[in-house]
């Protein structure tokens, strides 16, 4: 399903260094003793675990404590990349400005350069995300999975002069209707205005040049200003997805 964000790579993008993925990549352990887990299937039994966290559930669960976030899928076609009209003015100006100053590469020689970008993002942007900033997931992804998975990824690295200032990672795994999953992305916002917008636009432009036909991008779930930002790109669908946990016969909010 297009609205299903979960695949091997999207799970990799949710893992801290202490989390252990299932062998079948259908969930992961949150503790080394394997008593607390995360799964993406509402039918998964919680009987044998101290705590089961259910993420990205499509149907509203019948539990007291739960929350939802909005999963967004964007659509891109040849007409969009012409960037015509008032509605595309910001994107057009952003592209034209940074095309003159940023160079894009498609692999990275030194992973520590990426770690520096993440550290910088923590300082300059992470504070507004508080506990939900997930920068540790990005560090773990690059240190543990990037090299082994990069042939299955679309990876763009953005340089301002000699300095790496951002990256984007998209999974090449497509199970339905030419839909990609956007995995992780960070940037150095101190470089200038709309660097994030430029990174996202150029990532989608790169895919379009490869595809030369309509494609979809599943961003995963978000809310608030992050969701509002994603809606700068053409919307294909948006659905609620649910998050909750079961803790030994007792439902609790995550």
DSSP letter string, 108-176: -S-HHHHHHHHHHHHHHTGGGTGGG--HHHHHHIIIIIHHHHGGGEEEEEEEETTEEEEEEEEE----S
Q: Domain of 88: which CATH number? A: 3.40.630.30
pLDDT computed for residue 131 by the predictor: 41
DSSP-derived secondary structure letter, 60: P
Interhelix angle for 195-211 vs 89-99, to 10°? Answer: 90
Are 29 and 150 in a shared domain? no
Are 37 and 149 in a shared domain? no
Q: What range defines the domain where residue 229 resides?
A: 71-238
Using 50, 70 and 90 to split pLDDT, how confident is the model at 175? confident
**More confidently predicted of 239 and 122:** 239
Task: Report yes or no on 2 lying in a domain.
Answer: no
Six-digit token string for 213: 């036909």
Whole-angstrom distance, CA of residue 229 vs CA of residue 247: 35
Collapsing DSSP to helix, strand or coil, 10 comes out as helix
pLDDT computed for residue 129 by the predictor: 46
Mean pLDDT of the chain: 92
C-alpha distances (whole Å) from 97 to each of 36, 65, 93 are 47, 47, 6
**Predicted confidence (pLDDT) per residue in 129-167, tens digit:** 444 457 899 999 999 999 999 999 999 999 999 999 999
Are 230 and 139 in a shared domain? yes
Tally of domains in the chain: 2
Task: Report yes or no on 143 lying in a domain.
Answer: yes
Decide if 174 contacts 9 (C-beta within 8 A): no
Using 50, 70 and 90 to split pLDDT, how confident is the model at 250? low
Whole-angstrom distance, CA of residue 161 vs CA of residue 35: 48
Res 79 pLDDT > 50: yes
């Amino acid at each position: 399903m297009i609205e299903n964000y979960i695949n091997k790579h999207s799970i990799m993008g949710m893992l801290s260094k202490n989390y252990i993925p299932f062998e079948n990549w259908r969930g992961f352990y949150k503790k080394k003793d394997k008593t607390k887990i995360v799964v993406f299937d509402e039918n998964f039994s919680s009987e044998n675990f101290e705590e089961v966290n259910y993420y990205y559930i499509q149907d509203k669960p019948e539990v007291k404590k739960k929350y939802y976030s909005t999963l967004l899928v964007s659509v891109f076609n040849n007409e969009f990349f012409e960037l015509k009209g008032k509605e595309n003015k910001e994107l057009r100006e952003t592209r034209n400005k940074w095309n003159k100053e940023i160079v894009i590469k498609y692999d990275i020689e030194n992973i520590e350069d990426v770690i520096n970008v993440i550290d910088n993002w923590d300082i300059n942007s992470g504070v507004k995300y508080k506990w939900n900033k997930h920068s540790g997931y990005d560090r773990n992804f690059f240190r543990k999975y990037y090299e082994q998975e990069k042939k299955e990824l679309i990876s763009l690295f953005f340089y301002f002069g000699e300095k790496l200032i951002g990256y984007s990672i998209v999974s090449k795994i497509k199970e339905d209707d030419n839909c990609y999953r956007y995995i992780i992305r960070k940037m150095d916002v101190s470089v200038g205005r709309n660097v994030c917008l430029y990174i996202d636009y150029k990532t989608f432009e790169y895919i379009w040049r490869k595809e030369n036909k309509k494609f979809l991008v599943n961003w995963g779930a978000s809310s608030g200003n992050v969701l509002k930002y994603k809606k700068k790109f053409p919307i294909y669908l948006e659905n609620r997805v649910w998050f909750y946990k079961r803790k030994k016969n007792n439902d609790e909010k995550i």
